[in-house]
Amino acid sequence: MIKNLFFTFKTSPGLVRKSILLELLHGAFIAVPAGFLLLIIRELFSGNPVQSRLWNYIWIMIGLLIIQLFLAVKTIVTSNIMTYQLSTNLRVRLGNHLQRLSMGTFKQRDPGDLASVVLQDVANFEMIFGHTIANMASAIFATLIISVFLLITDWRLALVLLAALPICWLVIIGADYLVSRQGEKHVLARNQTGARFLEYVQGIRHIKSFGMTGKRFVSLDKALNDFRKASIRTEVIPGPLVIIAGMILELFFLLMIGIAITFFAQGSLAASALITFLIIGYRLYEPIKIVLVDYVILRYMNISLSRVIDVLRIKEQTAGKKLVPEKFDVVFENVSFGYHQEKNVLKNISFRVPENSLMALVGPSGSGKTTITSLVARFWDAGQGSVKIGGVDVKDMEPAEVYALISEVFQEVYLFDDTIFNNILFGRPDATEDEVIQAADLAQVLDFAWELPNGLHSKAGEGGNQLSGGQKQRISIARALLKDAPIVLLDEATASLDPENEIYIQQAIQELVKNKTVIVVAHKLTTIKNANQILVLKDGALAEEGTHQDLITANGLYHQLWNIQQQVGGWKIKRIDLG
């Protein structure tokens, strides 16, 4: 836990130092009045108490109380400023860090879990740390000072009181163990609930269309129930141990009284010392009781903090030599890559796409076509070999620099819950209105936008849910046109569209790929007949390479795929003819 706290403190060391100093000072001012109480008792039992001296002590104690009040306010304010500063730092660090992670990290991790780290775990830290740390620091310091007073007064009785501490500590270690185990289960249950909610809301359309509302709700309901049970256990299980620790303190206090009375009866303890231990001895335990409860809660907070730090430690994509290419040909040199270490989905792939030419990727489903485009965009880094743009290894470029060179049009289009205009503007935020309109025109967006109530300024709806698939495609092409990046990655967008939309989109794509280096994942071979180069993949390896004519002549896998598609196409035409 200490390590995790230091990791967090590093971001605002000055503020943390100031806060800790104030807390220690506050602790001292909680303890010092006990010293004056001790002097008052001594004076009273001196046989000849001096009234004025007693009053002086009382005035000093009142003065100390006022300072203590002032310090308490200052400490609360500073520790809250520190807590919110530290949690803000954590959020900013997480935000910056997430940006620099490869896309792979996001695909590999449960999105609900990642969201709960950013939202829940940081909030957990914020809430618990703010409320416990100030108490703990001042309580520990106050205990130390009161112990010194008591040791000076009578070391034997002081040792009896202090002997309770290691025993309490053992009990707290037990509670700590339970909190850590149960806390992890609680956090897991909480994340499951978040993930199931996310799944339920995101998939609501499909869940409804397959009539699975009840079934899916069962898994959400189960997650909620598990979370409820885990929450109760987290609260209840360590509770008795904390109470036991408190009772041990009470028992040792009673033991100390018994021994003190014996010493008093034997004449080895003065009456003033006996009274001192009865009054101040009890005060020794007050801060400790606070520490006992707060420590257990802090351990729970540490589970959240560890999760935040784990995310912060995920390796970021580096920029290597921070090079910027001047040309835009794309080269793969003996690239092998696997999403998981055990299995390579790309095996020793080499090719070159010259600047301003079009290369098509063809192959059966799962052969690795999309993976190749993901490596060009540096969504993932190649395991072996290198991916180069203009002679520069993408690993030697800032990931943002790579993204800036690439426009992508994929089958699945994501639109923001904003206007069509702003969704296009996203391609190049500093573009002028005329440029956006021109891109919308070239991508055939204006054709349908002018029929909408607010034209280009009509809302696309969250994820583009107020538009058809073809319309969303055209917006994404307009966005790519506006970006005007030198490299275009196309996951053949027309695969699932009706003929009318397909024509529109083909026209829009013709505009997009003009004078660009283009890699297209092709599903319909007719659309890539004129490609400068076709790469045929099979099981992640390069099976064939050449132009359409070369590959037909070679009479291999491409020829087979071509024949199949021709037959299916012919069959479709026949069916239409018959109809």
Q: Which residues bind ligand ATP (CB under 6 A)?
A: 107, 339, 345, 363, 365-371
Q: Look at the block and give the residue holding tokens 């409804």.
A: 208
How far is 23 from 33, CA to CA, in rounded Å?
17
Beta-carbon contacts of residue 162 (< 8 Å; ≥ 6 apart): 147
By beta-carbon proximity to ligand ATP, the closer residue of 289 and 347 is 347
How far is 381 from 361, CA to CA, in rounded Å?
19
Measured in Å, how far apart are the chain's first and last C-alpha atoms? 73
By beta-carbon proximity to ligand ATP, the closer residue of 368 and 399 is 368
Question: How distant is the alpha carbon of residue 408 from its chain centre?
Answer: 26
- The minimum distance between CB 473 and ligand ATP, in angstroms, equals 16
- The minimum distance between CB 107 and ligand ATP, in angstroms, equals 4
By CB neighbour count within 10 A (0-12 exposed, 13-18 middle, 19+ buried), where does 258 fall? exposed
By beta-carbon proximity to ligand ATP, the closer residue of 60 and 345 is 345
By beta-carbon proximity to ligand ATP, the closer residue of 264 and 339 is 339
The answer to whether the beta carbons of residues 360 and 531 sit under 8 Å apart is yes
Provide the token pair at 458.
């009509």
- 367 membership: H or E segment, kind and range: none
Provide the token pair at 340.
């998981």
By beta-carbon proximity to ligand ATP, the closer residue of 287 and 540 is 540
- The minimum distance between CB 371 and ligand ATP, in angstroms, equals 3
Q: Count of alpha carbons within 13 Å of 415, Cβ hemisphere only?
A: 30
- The minimum distance between CB 340 and ligand ATP, in angstroms, equals 6
The strand pairing partners of 389, in sequence order, are 330, 392
By beta-carbon proximity to ligand ATP, the closer residue of 103 and 319 is 103
By beta-carbon proximity to ligand ATP, the closer residue of 83 and 367 is 367
By beta-carbon proximity to ligand ATP, the closer residue of 216 and 523 is 523
- 398 membership: H or E segment, kind and range: none
Instruction: Identify the CA nearest to 287 among candidates 168, 406, 418.
Output: 168
How far is 521 from 528, CA to CA, in rounded Å?
10
How far is 338 from 546, CA to CA, in rounded Å?
26
How far is 482 from 431, CA to CA, in rounded Å?
8
- The minimum distance between CB 496 and ligand ATP, in angstroms, equals 12
Question: How distant is the alpha carbon of residue 353 from its chain centre?
Answer: 37
Question: How distant is the alpha carbon of residue 211 from its chain centre?
Answer: 33
- The minimum distance between CB 493 and ligand ATP, in angstroms, equals 13
- The minimum distance between CB 345 and ligand ATP, in angstroms, equals 4
Instruction: Identify the CA nearest to 300 among candidates 181, 192, 191, 193.
Output: 181
- The minimum distance between CB 380 and ligand ATP, in angstroms, equals 8
How far is 349 from 331, CA to CA, in rounded Å?
10
By beta-carbon proximity to ligand ATP, the closer residue of 266 and 365 is 365
By beta-carbon proximity to ligand ATP, the closer residue of 368 and 486 is 368
By beta-carbon proximity to ligand ATP, the closer residue of 45 and 339 is 339
- The minimum distance between CB 70 and ligand ATP, in angstroms, equals 58
By beta-carbon proximity to ligand ATP, the closer residue of 302 and 371 is 371
- The minimum distance between CB 216 and ligand ATP, in angstroms, equals 23
- The minimum distance between CB 375 and ligand ATP, in angstroms, equals 10
Provide the token pair at 473.
């495609």
Phi, psi for 450 (deg, rounded to 5)? -65, -20
By beta-carbon proximity to ligand ATP, the closer residue of 139 and 362 is 362
How far is 275 from 150, CA to CA, in rounded Å?
12
- The minimum distance between CB 410 and ligand ATP, in angstroms, equals 10
Instruction: Identify the CA nearest to 480 among candidates 450, 447, 453, 505.
Output: 505
Provide the token pair at 22.
């104030």
What's the angle, vertex CA 143, arms to CA 60 and CA 30, rounded to 5? 30
- The minimum distance between CB 370 and ligand ATP, in angstroms, equals 3
Neighbours of 231 (CB within 10 A): 14
The pairing of strands 487-491 and 406-409 is parallel
- The minimum distance between CB 368 and ligand ATP, in angstroms, equals 4
The answer to whether the beta carbons of residues 280 and 149 sit under 8 Å apart is yes
By beta-carbon proximity to ligand ATP, the closer residue of 32 and 372 is 372
Beta-carbon contacts of residue 43 (< 8 Å; ≥ 6 apart): 49, 50, 53, 54, 57
